[in-house]
Chains A and B, each alone.
Chain A
């Protein structure tokens, strides 16, 4: 019987990936993923360029693959399932690959040049500065008066300002990296626009690094130049591409968590009240993990390619075959999370989510992101206890077309 099942799975026509979400369920992953988890945990998916890859939907299998160094994150390897034409063009434009696209041991060697800036201790030390920025932004919202767009007045400026300060990017240059990263994060961007955005960010960072070499400051880029570029452990060209990664990953993600997370809480008033009214930071920390799990905003699947034949849960994946690992599916796996489709800010095992990925590529900025979210949600909800959306559900524009999910704008009133 087992063999018939396997044969049936293999002959089933490949499904197009990414899949659409169900209308009216903006917080839930595409319903097809739930069916696949039950019926065909390893299925075939067809992507934008017509190629097919394994679509692996269960939590345990995704964790196993992401932690297995027989799978590569290098998009230049044949068979790697790229996310969009833009990502493909960008990865083959002759520039150095950032460390998110490298494999160990080289990946970890480069990653460690940045890890000290994102440790738990560093994130905790940033709290007073984060509180100050959050307070200023909330003052601005209050002064402007309702309705205000939560994205442009709060969710975007907070993480943008923070990652810019850590790297040492001047405040006035934020519009540049915000604009270019919007192009890079969209899956529908024209190839020419993607290449231009990368060139523009590359030129910008080359100039910035030159300025920091002449006049070092106490910031990440100055320190990495002094500690690792000067010694030859990394190159200036490599640092430019890694810095672009940090800038983009540092604000696109947290921005979307802040806005979409606030919306999810507004739609679940009891959960919102629990986050707003607790005095215990441990409750807030757990609520943030649950929002990360429930929303899993990096929603287009981790991508890897097998370096050798590998068997995972009895399924043979051949050398050169691509795999797509939709973390949003894993985070709704009922074998790990009870009632996975409900938002429960008191869920005890919420931190077992893989919204930050898994394996040695697991998010470098996770402790910074956690700290930003843990401070921002309660501060926002306490400042405006009557916060509500000032837009009809039908009019909300969700980021279906972006690598990172969220809302383009969220008008709110109080």
Chain B
């Protein structure tokens, strides 16, 4: 699976960090999403999909599976 994030859209709700803090982090200065792993596999890929589904700003896109 390949992930892309849109820092422009991000509203720093933190939902992605709650479900996958090994894949996502928040910038210290404004809480905007930082991608830690753009190519999660297996269990991590499932959590990445959950993060994308929960993101209120639709700032996480799953490209290919």
A interface list, Cβ under 8 A from B: 66-67, 108, 111-113, 115-116, 118-121, 123, 351-352, 356-364, 366-367, 370
Distance from A306 Cβ to chain B, minimum over Cβ atoms (Å): 19
Name A122's closest neighbour in chain B (CB-CB): B31
Contact between A115 and B31, CB atoms less than 8 A apart? yes
**Across the interface, which residues of A come within 8 angstroms of B14, CB to CB?**
118-120, 123, 366-367
**B30 interface contact, C-beta 8 A:** yes
Name B29's closest neighbour in chain A (CB-CB): A116
**Across the interface, which residues of A come within 8 angstroms of B11, CB to CB?**
108, 111, 115, 360-362
Distance from B58 Cβ to chain A, minimum over Cβ atoms (Å): 6
The 8 closest A-B pairs by CB, nearest first: A115-B31, A115-B12, A362-B56, A360-B11, A119-B31, A120-B14, A120-B17, A119-B26
Can you list 19 pairs linking A and B with CB atoms under 8 Å apart? A66-B56, A67-B58, A108-B11, A112-B30, A112-B31, A112-B32, A115-B11, A115-B12, A115-B30, A115-B32, A116-B12, A118-B12, A118-B31, A119-B17, A119-B26, A121-B28, A352-B54, A359-B56, A367-B14
**Across the interface, which residues of A come within 8 angstroms of B9, CB to CB?**
360
In the bound complex, CA of A107 to CA of B30 (Å): 14
For chain B, residues 35 to 65, give those with C-beta under 8 angstroms from any C-beta of chain A.
53-54, 56-58
**Across the interface, which residues of A come within 8 angstroms of B15, CB to CB?**
362
B interface list, Cβ under 8 A from A: 9, 11-15, 17-19, 21, 26-32, 53-54, 56-58
Distance from A118 Cβ to chain B, minimum over Cβ atoms (Å): 7
In the bound complex, CA of A118 to CA of B21 (Å): 16
Name B21's closest neighbour in chain A (CB-CB): A120
**Across the interface, which residues of A come within 8 angstroms of B21, CB to CB?**
120
In the bound complex, CA of A66 to CA of B26 (Å): 23
**Given contact pairs A113-B30, A119-B12, a sample of 15 additional A-B residue pairs in the complex whose CB atoms are under 8 Å apart:** A108-B11, A116-B12, A116-B30, A119-B17, A123-B14, A351-B19, A352-B53, A357-B56, A358-B56, A359-B57, A362-B11, A362-B57, A363-B13, A364-B13, A366-B13
Name B19's closest neighbour in chain A (CB-CB): A351
**Across the interface, which residues of A come within 8 angstroms of B56, CB to CB?**
66-67, 357-360, 362
Distance from B46 Cβ to chain A, minimum over Cβ atoms (Å): 13
In the bound complex, CA of A77 to CA of B9 (Å): 23
Name B50's closest neighbour in chain A (CB-CB): A351
Contact between B30 and A120, CB atoms less than 8 A apart? no
Distance from B51 Cβ to chain A, minimum over Cβ atoms (Å): 11
**Across the interface, which residues of A come within 8 angstroms of B19, CB to CB?**
351
User: Which of B9, B18, B29, B31 has most A Cβ within 10 Å?
Assistant: B31
In the bound complex, CA of A366 to CA of B14 (Å): 9
In the bound complex, CA of A79 to CA of B13 (Å): 29
Contact between A116 and B31, CB atoms less than 8 A apart? yes
Name A117's closest neighbour in chain B (CB-CB): B31
Name A113's closest neighbour in chain B (CB-CB): B30
Distance from A356 Cβ to chain B, minimum over Cβ atoms (Å): 8
Contact A116 to B18, CB < 8 A, known contacts A352-B54, A359-B56, A362-B11: no
Contact A112 to B57, CB < 8 A, known contacts A120-B18, A121-B26, A367-B18: no
In the bound complex, CA of A351 to CA of B15 (Å): 9
In the bound complex, CA of A211 to CA of B15 (Å): 35
**Across the interface, which residues of B come within 8 angstroms of A356, CB to CB?**
13
**Across the interface, which residues of B come within 8 angstroms of A119, CB to CB?**
12, 14, 17, 26, 31
User: Which of A118, A356, A360 has most B Cβ within 10 Å?
Assistant: A360
